[in-house]
Amino acid sequence: MLVPLYALRLSLITSTLTLGIALVLCTPLAYLLARYRFLGKRIVDTLVDLPMVLPPTVAGVALPVAFGRRGLLGDPLDAAGIRLAFTTTAVVAVQIFVSAPFLVRSLKASFEAVDTVYEQVSATLGVSPLRTFWRISLRLSRPALLGGAVLCWMRALSELGATLIFAGNFEGRTQTMPLAILTAFESQQGLSGAIALSVILLAVAGLLLIVLRIALRNSGMGNIRP
C-alpha cells in the first residue's frame, strides 16, 4: 500500500501553521476578554465559543457562504486576487476556525487565574503595560498556554468535515491525513488501508504529545504559583 507522505506532511505543516497564527491572534483576544470590560464583550465571547459547539460540517458550509467566490466576502477577496476555496490556504483557514476557540478558552482562563495584583505591582515598579504582559501575565500563564496550544494543534490535526466541504479533497493540495484516511476507507483497500494510515497519524500525534509533555515538565512550570 502506498503511504501518502504528502498527506502527512501537509497535515503537519498546516496544523503547525494554524497553531502559530492562532497564537498570534488569540493571545491578545484572550487577554482582552480576561481583563477588560467593553461593549459587545458577551457577543464576542459567544462567537468564540460557537465553532466549538458547531458540527464541523456546519462550519464547512458556513465558510464558503462567507469566503467562497460567491460568498458574502467573495467579491472583495476576488478583487484582491485571493481565492480561498479548494486551496491549501483554505485548509489552514478551516483549521484556525475550528481550533482557535480552544486556545482562546484556555488562555482566557489562565489569564483570569493570574492575580491582577502582580500586574499592578509590576506597574508601580516602573514597568510598562506591554512589558508587564510579557514578563508577568504571559509568563505566569505558561502552563495553560502550552496546554491550550496542544489542544489547538490536536484539533487542527484531526480536522476533517469542514476541510472536506470548504477545501475539498485534492491530493497534495488539500488532502490532509484525516482526508487521506477517509479516501483510503472509501477505496478498494477499505478498512485495512484506513487502519494503516490511522496508526501512522496516531503514532505521530502521540510522539508529539510526549515531546510536549517532557518539554512542559523540564521547564518546571507545573508549580510556579505561590
Partner 1 sequence: MIAIAVRKQLGEFSLDAVFASAGGTPVLYGESGSGKSVTLQAIAGLLRPDDGTIRIGERTVFDSAAGIDVPPHHRNLGYVVQQLALFPHLTAEENITYALTGATDADRRHRLDDLPALLSLEGLEHRLPRQLSGGQQQRLALARALARPVDALLLDEPFSALDESLRADLRAEILRIRSELTIPIVFVTHDLREAYLLADSVAVIDNGRVLQHGSKEDVFQRPASRRVAQLTGVRTSSAGR
Footprint of partner 1 on this chain (CB under 8 A)?
115, 117-118, 120-129, 131-132, 135-136, 139-140, 224-226
Q: At closest approach, how far in Å is the CB of 201 from partner 1?
A: 36
Q: For 195-198, which contacts have Cβ atoms below 8 Å and span 24 or more sequence positions? A: 196/1, 196/3, 197/3, 197/4, 197/7
Q: At closest approach, how far in Å is the CB of 139 from partner 1?
A: 6
Q: At closest approach, how far in Å is the CB of 63 from partner 1?
A: 40
Which CB sits closer to partner 1, 9 or 131? Answer: 131
Q: At closest approach, how far in Å is the CB of 2 from partner 1?
A: 49
Q: At closest approach, how far in Å is the CB of 166 from partner 1?
A: 42
Which CB sits closer to partner 1, 129 or 206? Answer: 129
Q: At closest approach, how far in Å is the CB of 123 from partner 1?
A: 4
Which CB sits closer to partner 1, 44 or 136? Answer: 136
The residue among 87, 90, 83 whose CA lies nearest residue 60 is 90
Which CB sits closer to partner 1, 83 or 142? Answer: 142
Which CB sits closer to partner 1, 57 or 219? Answer: 219
Which CB sits closer to partner 1, 211 or 224? Answer: 224
| Cβ–Cβ under 8 Å, residues 7 and 18 | no
